[in-house]
Structure 1
Amino acid sequence: MFCETLEEICLRPDQTISDAIACIDASGGEIALVTDEAGGLIGTITDGDIRRAILRGCTLESLAREIMNSHPRFVTKGTRVAEIATLMRREYVGQMPILDSRGVVVDLVLAGEIFSPDPGKHPVVIMAGGLGTRLRPITESIPKPMVLIGGRPILELIIEQFANQGFRCITLCVNHLAEVIEGHFGDGKAFGVEIEYVREAKRMGTAGALSLVSPAPSKPVIVMNGDILTALNFSQLLAFHYDNGALATMGVNHFQYQIPYGVVDIKDHQIHGFVEKPVYDFFVNAGLYVVSPQVLDSVPEDEFFDMPSLFDQLEPSQKMAFPIHEYWLDIGKHDDLDRASREYETFFGARSNR
C-alpha cells in the first residue's frame, strides 16, 4: 500500500526522538523519514531503531540524527510495483521510500502485512490469578484484574486492546475468585476474542502457569500480567521479538528513583565522597513477555516457576529487552489505582470503542 500522509511521517534531523515516534505512529507503526529542507531523504528511523537507542541510553529528547539509518534503502519513481515487492522480499524490509530524480521523497510503500507477524495467529496468555493483597480490602470481594478503571475492569481494557489490534486467541490463567472472571468474560465472543481458561489449583508463577496451557502454543506467545495498563502496540513487541531472533523477549520500562538523602561514600571509616540526593536510572521488568515455543519445554510441570527464572536459563544472545516508551502502569497499590483512574481518560478514553 502507498502512504497517504507523507508530510506527517517526515522530520528534520534536528528534531527529537519524540517527534520521530509521532511520525512512526502516523505511518501505522512503520517508519519515520528524515529529510532535508528540500525534502531529500537523508535517513530513516524505525520503531526498532528507537527502542535500541533507548537501551543505549538515549532519551526521547535525543536528536533524530543520532539514531537514524543514514544509508536507507530506496527505489526511484517509476519502478514497477512488482519490482518493489521483489526487492522488499529479498531485502526483508517492510518499508521502501520512493525518490524522484533529485532524491526527494515522493512516496512510501509499506509492506507490513507481508513481513510482520499476523497477530491473529499468535496466542496471548494473561495472568489473572493473583490475590492482590496490596489492594485489599477491594480484592477481598473481586479479583485484582476486575478492579475498575474508568468504570470498567482492568482486564476488560486489556482484552479490548488486544482485540482492537487483531489478536483473537486469549488464555486467562485464573485462581482467586476465578468464577467472577469466567462469569464476566465467558467464551470471549462478546469482546471479539476467543477465551480459554487455565485454573491454577495453586500458585504457579508467571511462567509455571504456561505448563498448563493446552494445547501448547506452536507460535511465540505474548504473556502479560493482568494488572498492567499500557498504550503499547503489541504487534511491535512481536515484530521486535522476530527481528532480533530472540527465544524470549521481556518488556522493560525506564524507571528513575531519587534517594531522599545525601549518600556518603565510606571506605575504611573514611569519607571519600558525598552525593546529595542522587537519582538512579533503571530498566524494570514491565510484566510483558514474548516466549517462543521451544522455550516452553524448559518450564517444569506443576511447579511454581516465575518468568525471571525462565530468562535466567537462556544465553544472553537468546533473550532481548524491549523498552516501552509508551504509557505503562503496574496497578499494584492503592496509589497506582488512584493514578490510573486519574489518567485513564487522557491516555485511553479516545481509544475505547465500547
Structure 2
Amino acid sequence: MKAMIMAAGVGSRLMPLTKDTPKPMVPMTNRPLMENIVELLGRHHFKEVIANLHHQGESISGYFDDGHDFGLKLLYSPEEVLLGTAGGVKKCEWFLDETFVVISGDALTDMDLSELLAQHRKRGALATIALKEVENVEQFGVVLTAEDGRISRFQEKPGREEALSHQANTGIYVFEPEIFKYIPAAQFYDFGCQLFPQLVEMGAPFYAVSTQDYWCDVGNIETYRQANVDVLQGRVAMKPGGIVLEDKGKSRVLLGEDVELGDEVNFLGHVVIGRGCRIGSGTVIKDTVIWEQSEIGPASVLKDCTIGRQCKIGSGTIVHPGTVMGSACKVTGNSILGPSEGL
C-alpha cells in the first residue's frame, strides 16, 4: 500500500522552536515527531511512502534517508514554492496510482489506519476523512455528516457558539486515484478551502469516519507540551526515546541517552530531558521539556517551560512558566526569565 506524508509546513505556531528545526523533526519524547507517523504507516503495512518537503527539508530526508531502517521505501517530493495541501499531493500523482492515505507528518496519533481503509472501501468512497471529537472547535475545521457518514458541510474554525459539530478534520485522508481529476496541476490548491467543498457540491461519494483513537494536532507550544505528557502517561502508542522514571504518584521523567545529573536534582510532574543534557546539582525542574545537549546550571529552577537544543542556562537561574527558548540560547547565571523573555 502507498501513502503520502505532508511534511512541507513551516510550523510558525511553534516558533522559536522551529526556527532551526522543521516541525516534523521537532522532538516528541526525544524522537522526531514524524518518526511516529513513519512507524505507524509501517505497522499498518504501508510499504511505499512519499513525503513532500519545503522548510529545511534536507534535515528530514537526511534523517529518514530511503526508509530502509524503518521497514519501508521512502521517497521525497521537494517543493521550492509551496503548492498547498492538495497541490502537493497532485505533484505526486505519478506515484499515488492506487488507493492511498495522506497523513500529516507533524501530528501525534496511533490511529487504526487499517480500519479507516476498510471503511473507505466498504462504502465505495472516492475520498474519506478521519474525524476526532474535540472540545475547542475554534482551532479546527469541523465536519457535518449525514447518518450514513456522507459529508454534508464544513465549518472552518467556528466560534464555540456557532459550531454545528465538534468533529474535527484530523488531516488524515484516504483517496482513490480518481481524485486527481479534481485537482489542478502546478498551482496552489487546498483540501479544506477548495477541493473538499467542491466534492460536497458535486455530490461525490465523500465520507467521514470518526475515531476514538488518540490524535493530537501539535499546533502550538501548549499542545506540544501536552502531547509529551500524553506519551509519558501511555495515552498514545509511541515508544519514548530513553528511560522513563516513575515515582509513587503520577509523575514521570524521561531521561535520554548520556544525560548527566548532579546531586539532589528534583523533578516534579512530567519532565523530558533530551540526549546528552547536563543538569546541575540542586536544580528543580517541573513539567518541562528540554531538548538534546542543553546544559542547566546548578541551583536553577525551571517550571512549565520548553528549552531548545544546545542551550546553556547559568547557575541560579529561575525560568518561569510559559517560557520558550529556541535552540542554542545562552543565559547568564542568576537570571530570571518569564514568557516575555523567551528567546
TM range (shorter): 0.5 to 0.7
- Asked if residue 145 in structure 1 is aligned to residue 29 in structure 2, the reply is no
How has the CA–CA distance of structure 1 residues 349 and 290 changed in structure 2, closer, same or farther, with 3 Å as cutoff? closer
After TM superposition, the score normalised by the length of structure 2 is 0.59
Q: Aligned match of 1:213 in 92, 100, 108? A: 92
Q: Deviations over 1:212-271 (max 9, x none)?
A: 115242211100111111121101111111011110111111122499xxxxxxxxxxxx
- Asked if residue 347 in structure 1 is aligned to residue 234 in structure 2, the reply is yes
C-alpha distance in 2, partners of 1:258/1:167? Answer: 31
C-alpha distance in 2, partners of 1:279/1:231? Answer: 30
- 2:60 aligns with 181
- Asked if residue 193 in structure 1 is aligned to residue 72 in structure 2, the reply is yes
Q: Aligned match of 1:167 in 46, 58, 79? A: 46
Q: Deviations over 1:266-308 (max 9, x none)?
A: xxxxxxxxxxx97965211111111110111221111111112
Q: Aligned match of 1:291 in 164, 169, 175? A: 175
C-alpha distance in 1, partners of 2:65/2:73? Answer: 9
Question: 2:111, 2:213 within 8 Å by CA — same for their partners in 1?
Answer: yes
Question: 2:130, 2:209 within 8 Å by CA — same for their partners in 1?
Answer: yes
How has the CA–CA distance of structure 1 residues 327 and 312 changed in structure 2, closer, same or farther, with 3 Å as cutoff? same
Cα RMSD of the aligned pairs, angstroms, is 2.2
Amino acid at match of 1:325: Q
- 1:329 aligns with 216
Question: 1:124, 1:223 within 8 Å by CA — same for their partners in 2?
Answer: yes
1:239-278 to structure 2, matched below 5 A, reads 239-257=118-136
- 2:3 aligns with 124
Amino acid at match of 1:292: E
Q: Aligned match of 1:312 in 197, 206, 224? A: 197
List alignment gaps of at least 5 residues for structure 1. 1-121, 260-276
Question: 2:214, 2:236 within 8 Å by CA — same for their partners in 1?
Answer: no
C-alpha distance in 2, partners of 1:318/1:187? Answer: 35
Q: How far 1:325 moved relative to its partner?
A: 1.3
Secondary structure at 1:138 match in 2: coil
After TM superposition, the score normalised by the length of structure 1 is 0.57
List alignment gaps of at least 5 residues for structure 2. 139-159, 242-343
C-alpha distance in 2, partners of 1:134/1:216? Answer: 31
- 1:96 aligns with none
Secondary structure at 2:207 match in 1: strand
The structure number with the bigger radius of gyration is: 1
Q: Aligned match of 2:81 in 190, 199, 202? A: 202
Instruction: Give the percent of matched residue pairs that are identical in Structure 1 and Structure 2.
Output: 32
C-alpha distance in 1, partners of 2:174/2:52? Answer: 16
Secondary structure at 1:335 match in 2: helix
Q: How far 1:345 moved relative to its partner?
A: 2.8
Q: How far 1:350 moved relative to its partner?
A: 6.0
C-alpha distance in 1, partners of 2:131/2:237? Answer: 25
Question: 2:231, 2:237 within 8 Å by CA — same for their partners in 1?
Answer: no
C-alpha distance in 2, partners of 1:215/1:318? Answer: 23
C-alpha distance in 2, partners of 1:200/1:291? Answer: 21
Amino acid at match of 1:224: I
Equivalent pairs counted in the alignment come to 216
C-alpha distance in 2, partners of 1:223/1:125? Answer: 5
C-alpha distance in 1, partners of 2:46/2:240? Answer: 16
How has the CA–CA distance of structure 1 residues 123 and 233 changed in structure 2, closer, same or farther, with 3 Å as cutoff? same
Q: Deviations over 1:108-136 (max 9, x none)?
A: xxxxxxxxxxxxxx211011010100101
C-alpha distance in 2, partners of 1:174/1:291? Answer: 21
How has the CA–CA distance of structure 1 residues 206 and 123 changed in structure 2, closer, same or farther, with 3 Å as cutoff? same
Q: Deviations over 1:3-57 (max 9, x none)?
A: xxxxxxxxxxxxxxxxxxxxxxxxxxxxxxxxxxxxxxxxxxxxxxxxxxxxxxx
Secondary structure at 1:240 match in 2: helix
Secondary structure at 1:313 match in 2: helix
C-alpha distance in 1, partners of 2:67/2:215? Answer: 25
